[in-house]
Amino acid sequence: MSERAEASNSEETDGTVPDEISHLVGHSGHLLRRSYQIFISIFESSFSQMGVSPVEYMILGTLEALGTLDMSSVAGSAAIDNASCFRVVGRLEDRGLVETCRGDKDQRRRLVGLTARGRTIMPSLHKCAAMVEARMFERLTAQERGDFAASMKAFATRNNCLSRAPFRAPARTEKGDG
């Protein structure tokens, strides 16, 4: 086995990239994918006891902050398509974290809100999210953390229109507004 192959098979390497593939490893798309892999790894280890996915956390946090929302607003706030949102909300409802109902004025509208159980677990979820943030950036300087956050926000905001499921700011909804 070559020295390079042995290094790639070890659990940790020094991160040295061979010149022949540096253009590939440094490609922005590849770096975004690797960043997401790192985030998911950290998220899953921090949230393992809670059994909540990143999208579920986003939905629960949005409902906590804004109250009852229609399903389309929930989907937009999590930047997922309506069909995926329906499935995720269904899983959260099965676990007793959210409840859904039809709007009083428009029975076609499906409204989503946190249950008492959902509100109860939010402080623990926020604590887990803070741990994720800390672990993700612990190897960066304060300046690098700020630069990274600002760059990612600018990238996501300015390219929102290119997303298959763009972020849409949710409109607050009361049960009777349906």
CA dihedral angle for residue 122, residue 77, residue 43, residue 138, rounded to 10 degrees: -100
Confidence band (pLDDT; 50, 70, 90) for 34? very high
Write down the pLDDT at residue 58: 96
Q: Specify the 3-state DSSP secondary structure of 10.
A: coil
Write down the pLDDT at residue 174: 54
Average pLDDT over residues 6-33: 75
Structure-token pair, residue 166? 């763009």
Q: Which residue has the tokens 């922005």?
A: 28
- Segment 89-146, tens digit of pLDDT: 999 999 999 999 987 777 778 899 999 999 999 999 999 999 999 999 999 999 999 9
Write down the pLDDT at residue 4: 45
Write down the pLDDT at residue 26: 81
- Phi, psi for 69 (deg, rounded to 5): -130, 155
Report whether pLDDT(83) > 80: yes
Confidence band (pLDDT; 50, 70, 90) for 10? very low
Cα–Cα distance measured from residue 97 to residue 90, given in angstroms and rounded to the nearest whole number:
10
Write down the pLDDT at residue 177: 53
Q: What is the pTM of this model?
A: 0.82
